[in-house]
Amino acid sequence: MKNLSFFVLFTVFISGFCLAQAPPMPSALTTTRFVLDKNTVVKDTAGKQYGYQEWSAMMRTGKYIIKQAGIKKGTDGKPEYVLVPLFDANGQPIDRKTKTQVRYITAPRPQSTDPSKPNFVEPAKPNESTQFHPGDIFKPFNEKDIYGEKFDLKKMKGKVLVINFWFIGCPPCRAEIPDLNKLVEHYKDNKDVVFLAVCLDEKYDIKEFIKTTPFNYHIIDDGRFVAEKYGVKLYPTNVVVNKDGKVVFSSVSFQYANPYWLTKTIDEALQVPVANPAP
C-alpha cells in the first residue's frame, strides 16, 4: 500500500508524462498484474540498471517516461522496464517515433483549476491521443458491461459519451480513477452523459479490483478487441464523443488538467443540439 501511495504521489508531480502500454495477452488461465515498486527492474535505453531511489527521482523531473521492455525469462514472468527520455541534450522535446523535435510546452501547474477561484488559470490542454482527433466519427461498438447492461453506441445518438481505456496493472490508470469518479458524481442527474470504461482485464478480476478501488463508470470487460479496433496502445486514454457521434476531446496519460478539460468539453457538448435529430 505504501508503494502504491508513493507512485500516485510522484505521478502527480510529473503532470501526465507517465504512460502505460498494454501488457502482453495473458493466457486463458492466468491474468498477470504488474506494479512498479522497489523490486522493479528499471534500465535506461543503454541497458544501465537504476535503483529505486534513482529512477523514482528521475521520474519526478518529468523528463522521462517508463515503458515495459518485455518479460525477463527466469524471474517468474516479471517484466523489466526502460526509462525513455522525453528531451534531447539541448532540452528540446523529442517525438519518439521520428526522433525529431516537436513543438509542445509543458505548462506549469496553475495556482487553481477551479474557475470559481480568483486565482484561476485555465490549465494547458492535455496531450491528445494520436488515435482520436476532433471531428472524427467515433466508430460505434456494441458491448455489455460487467453487470450485463448492453451499450449499443449506434442507438445512442443524442448522448454525450465519455470513454476511458484502461487496465488494472496500469498505475496511471488507477491514479486517475478518483478524479473520474468525481466526474460521474458531477453528472449523475444528467441522463444525456454516459460514462464507459473499456478494460482489458477479465470480469472476475475487475470485480475483485473494484471491491477495494471503486470505479463508477460502466465497465466493459475483456476489452482488448475494442481497444485494438481503435488502435489504442497507451493507457489511460480518455475520449469524449458528442451527440452526433464525433470526437470532441481526447487525452493520454494521467494528467492533472484532465478533469477540467473533460468537464469543459462535456458541458460544451451538452449545449450543442443534435445535427440531425431522429424523427
**Per-position DSSP letters for 105-172, written without gaps between them:** --PPPPSB--TTSTTB-PPPPPPPPSS--TT-B----EEE-TTS-EEEGGG-TTSEEEEEEE-TT-HH
pLDDT score, position 10: 44
Task: Let me know whether 247 and 150 are in one domain.
Answer: yes
The last residue of one of the domains, among 77, 101, 125, is 101
The last residue of one of the domains, among 38, 68, 101, is 101
Distance CA 139, CA 217 (A): 20
Task: Let me know whether 192 and 75 are in one domain.
Answer: no
pTM over 0.85: no
Grid coordinates of 165? 481505456
The last residue of one of the domains, among 79, 101, 123, is 101
pLDDT reading at 184 higher than 80 = yes
Between 46 and 95, the more confident residue is 46
Task: Let me know whether 164 and 233 are in one domain.
Answer: yes
pLDDT score, position 40: 78
In terms of DSSP bridges, do strands 237-241 and 160-166 run parallel, antiparallel, or are they unpaired? antiparallel
User: Does 116 map to a domain?
Assistant: no
Most confident of the following: 25-29, 38-42, 248-252: 248-252
pLDDT score, position 200: 94
Q: What is the pLDDT of residues 128-177, one digit of tens each?
A: 999 999 999 999 999 999 999 999 999 999 999 999 999 998 888 998 99
User: Does 253 map to a domain?
Assistant: yes
* Domain containing residue 34: 2-101
pLDDT reading at 79 higher than 80 = no
pLDDT score, position 71: 55
